[in-house]
Structure 1
């Protein structure tokens, strides 16, 4: 049996990871750019999509101040790795909606994805939802139609969030995931949009992919994190 499939191992590792992340976030010197667009959304309450690439999940709690941001949940994969990350993120105030996009040859995963999509739309009626549009299996930094479809159906604003820190740990995973190290420099960069009323789905995917790449690249430029 793989270790991450053991609940006791998941619970222990998620506890350690969450504590490590909190320690790092407190010691990192943060730069915030264009945060006023997020503050305006939080001040109005209501639904909001918080969007970042899968590689930055380990930095995501730093972008959502619990004292003033819209209460949010995270859309996390049903995979064992996803469960482990979900537990670590939940310990920092972000309970998970479990689901996966699934494949046509995997009906249980497809069923889980459909259920998660419905739960996500319910969450977006009044709260925030964190989404990684290239997860859970990639390709990295490539967006599908799931996020724009969710934005079109919910009519919720979309916050594109670029997060970075340096120095950092880069995992040897498909997304080259970033985990923070303490006493470094961090950056969070924001952009905002809504699904246009008569928007073409393909054009929106291309535009939003470019904008999400742009805020992440800007955050990396601020911290000096290497590709």
Structure 2
């Protein structure tokens, strides 16, 4: 019964709530001009992930993206929710199933599809950048697109990621950066550049 709730009932309700919030909000998009046939690595903070499927679909209406989601049990509800919202999943993270997820992500990009990563997931620290995004970037030469979503009205959980849930009837401001290439930088420097770019339009 609990498994059914986690994998079916809760995700269905969650995606309905997310869609209602989106539909009742004013939307503003700040998007770059990109080659929509190019495969990218999409990066956003774990606490801002809720509305990002809509950000992606506005940028690439016919695109395919797979999100790297933790193999921990707490990743199940998120996985099923984003699937309802049109986002595939690659299970694994820096702390569990990492090698398998890395190989799968590289395969997706080389096949012409995008992947999405929360560099500070699945357990933080908040607004940190793990090694995975740089490793995939350097192995595939896929550029990085940084996604942010600011909202005028929101609830913010007291969780490690300060998870944000926008309130209905506010304004959602979607940001996507120009494609970022840090392949010529050392890993730590690359991670610092990515972090700083991701913080520009982040919610505090």
Q: Give me the TM-score of the superposition, normalised by structure 1.
A: 0.83
Alignment match, 2:144: 158
Q: 1:9 aligns with which of 5, 9, 24?
A: 5
For residue 52 of structure 2, the aligned residue among 42, 60, 76 is 60
Q: Given the alignment, which residue of 196, 211, 217 partners 2:197?
A: 211
Of 188-197 and 177-186, deviating more is 188-197
Which of residues 88, 92, 109 in structure 1 aligns to 2:85? 92
Describe the SS at the equivalent of 1:163.
strand
Correspondence list, 1:36-185, <5 A: 36-37=32-33, 40-42=34-36, 45-65=37-57, 68=61, 70-102=63-95, 109=96, 112-125=97-110, 126-185=112-171
Deviation for aligned residue 1:23: 1.1
Equivalent residues of 1:18, 1:89 under 8 A apart: yes
Aligned 8 A contact 1:60 1:163 in 2: yes
Distance in 2 (CA, whole Å) between partners of 1:156 and 1:69 is: 19
Which is richer in helix? Answer: 1
Matches within 5 A, 1:20-31: 20-31=17-28
Distance 1:128 1:197, change over 3 A: closer
Q: CA contact under 8 A between 1:76 and 1:82: conserved in structure 2?
A: yes
> Moved runs in structure 1, 4+ residues, more than 4 A?
none
Are the aligned partners of 1:190 and 1:215 in contact in 2 as well (CA < 8 Å)?
Answer: no
Give the drift of 1:25: 0.7
Contact 2:150-2:201 within 8 A present in 1 as well: no
CA RMSD in angstroms comes to 1.7
Larger radius of gyration: 1
Deviation at 1:101, TM superposition (A): 1.3
2:185 equivalent in structure 1: 199
Could you tell me whether the CA contact under 8 Å between 2:53 and 2:85 is conserved in 1? yes
In the alignment, the residues of structure 2 paired with residue 15 and residue 124 of structure 1 have an alpha-carbon distance, to the nearest angstrom, of: 29
What is the distance in 2 between the residues matched to 1:209 and 1:117? Answer: 20
Q: Secondary structure at the match of 1:129?
A: strand
Structure 2 unaligned regions, length at least 5 = none
